[in-house]
Amino acid sequence: MSNKTRFDGASVGVLTEVRRFIEDKQLLQNGDSVLVALSGGADSVALLHALNSLKEEWNITLFAAHFNHGIRGEEADRDERFCKALCERYGIPFFCEKADVPSIARGSGENVELCGRRLRYRFLDKTARDIGGAKIATAHHSNDNAETVLWNLTRGTGLAGLAGIPIRRGNIIRPLLRCTRDEIEAYCAENDLAYVTDSTNLSDDYTRNKLRHQVMPVLRELNPSVGESIGRMSAIMREADEYLNHISDKELKATKTPYGWSCKRLLQCEPIILKYAVKNILEKAAAPVDFQHTALIIEAMRTNGAVDVGGAHTVSCAQGILRIVPQKTDTDDFCMPILDYMREYGTRIKVRDGQPFEIAPPLAISGEKINNLLLHDGIPCDIMTRDTLIRRRRAGDTFTDHRRGVTKTVKKLLNELKIPRELRDTVLLVADGSTVLWIEGIGTSAQAKADLTRDGEYYLINGGLNNA
């Protein structure tokens, strides 16, 4: 097909819009690898064709991936064969995976749509990593965005929901987001692009299809450009959402304390910034976020209360500090011989004439910093036995401060240091019986204090703590 034909009519609109969108939003960089999520429908076929037509401008390498949901029997297998043949025609490497999504959804208790989406993106992510960290291009367009906004609106949403489909999310990009479905179909027609039709798209059994077939036609009667109007609104909402996230992150940094965030200072924020700050705290902890929990947490900040937000997380606002506290699990009873732990996670350091001279595994820091670490977290190897354990605290544990020579119960010590109550049972310590030699975040006791004036070997308790 000649270039003239390719760029005639609606083709010019789609290609120009995709080019401008990629440039405006910096979706691609020179030399990128791009994995196109290819269903075989008009949208993804147009996306593959457009990127293939423009690939030399960005010096990109194209790949394609198809996920067969196993929902439509022979029709789904037909789509897979179509996508494979299309990629062979273009000389584009093709990846495919098939799964019985209905069976998996029944086993997991998920909605079939959500289960399929989860498995599809898991496949795309894995494929993108396997080919060297490619960007994933999906074929969402402005009609999809309008439907998403309406669906979010019916369920109740904030600015993020009104912002619609993100232009990018991690390594996922959406070059067609400014194009309409009509423009895409015209592009396919003018470029003689064949595509397949998913029969489930013609049914009203799925939520999105009801919006597409029943709601959007009514809205177009009121405003033929409703999709574009929603798109403009989404862009404004996206900018507002990004701005509020930015401001709330600044407030979180300003209110951070060693064990959480100051409730008093957060409560001085404007209400919308406070809500965003709470939302961002929950998101960073991978805890569920919703309007009701956000309101309850803000109330708990005023009353020193706590809120179970689900997902094995509790938000505590005790002692004026907001904290995300993981709920108790089997790992809270962690206990193992310190020698076994050190062989897997620790660092063994030999000291001669006051200087470390043999370190295994090596530490990429200066000798002075190593000495400081030894003085705080180093335990002499010769005082550890098979009975020395790394574990959580127990009743009767005692600790002798090497600076003052005062012995206290660990319970009293943690209380005096104002370690948050709900965190005290998560602190790791090294103990020989009830005599504690080291406490996480506090350091070594008088019995275990490093003496760098004498030659010896030490175990440094280091980053392996996160594996406990």
Domains, in order of start, for the chain: 3-232 (3.40.50.620), 258-326 (no CATH), 331-467 (no CATH)
Sequence letter at residue 150: L
* pLDDT level of residue 204 (50, 70, 90 thresholds): low
Q: What are phi and psi of 95, to 5 degrees?
A: -125, 145
Residue 178 to residue 413: CA distance in whole angstroms: 61
pTM, full prediction: 0.67
Least confident of 163-167, 360-364, 415-419: 360-364
Give the per-residue pLDDT at 466: 41
Give the per-residue pLDDT at 329: 52
Residue 96 to residue 71: CA distance in whole angstroms: 15
Of the two residues 144 and 112, the one the predictor is more confident about is 144
* pLDDT level of residue 418 (50, 70, 90 thresholds): confident
Give the per-residue pLDDT at 213: 86
Of the two residues 362 and 118, the one the predictor is more confident about is 118
Q: For 267, which DSSP code?
A: T
Residue 63 to residue 87: CA distance in whole angstroms: 9
Give the per-residue pLDDT at 264: 93
Helical residues (DSSP H) of 358-400, grouped into ranges: 367-377
* pLDDT level of residue 4 (50, 70, 90 thresholds): very low
Give the per-residue pLDDT at 454: 85
Average confidence (pLDDT) over 80-90: 95
Give the per-residue pLDDT at 232: 92
pLDDT tens digit sequence for 255-306:
998 788 999 999 999 999 999 999 999 888 878 888 888 999 999 999 988 8
Least confident of 117-126, 256-265, 354-363: 354-363
Closest CA to 319 of 259, 255, 253: 259
Of the two residues 292 and 4, the one the predictor is more confident about is 292
Of the two residues 198 and 459, the one the predictor is more confident about is 459
Per the structure block, which two tokens stand in for 74? 């022979």
pLDDT tens digit sequence for 324-352:
876 655 445 688 898 888 877 888 888 88
Of the two residues 207 and 238, the one the predictor is more confident about is 238
**Which of 191-200, 306-315, 320-329, 392-401 reaches the highest mean pLDDT?**
392-401
Per the structure block, which two tokens stand in for 187? 């592009």
> How long a stretch of residues is the chain?
468
Residue 438 to residue 379: CA distance in whole angstroms: 8
* pLDDT level of residue 150 (50, 70, 90 thresholds): very high
Cα within 13 Å of Cα(5), Cβ side: 8
Residue 419 to residue 426: CA distance in whole angstroms: 11
SS (H, E, C) 183-231: HHHHHHHHCCCCCCCCHHHHCCCCHHHHHHHHHHHHHHHHCCCHHHHHH
pLDDT of 49 strictly over 90 = yes
Residues 6+ apart with CB under 8 A from 434: 394, 396, 397, 398
Residue 343 to residue 33: CA distance in whole angstroms: 41
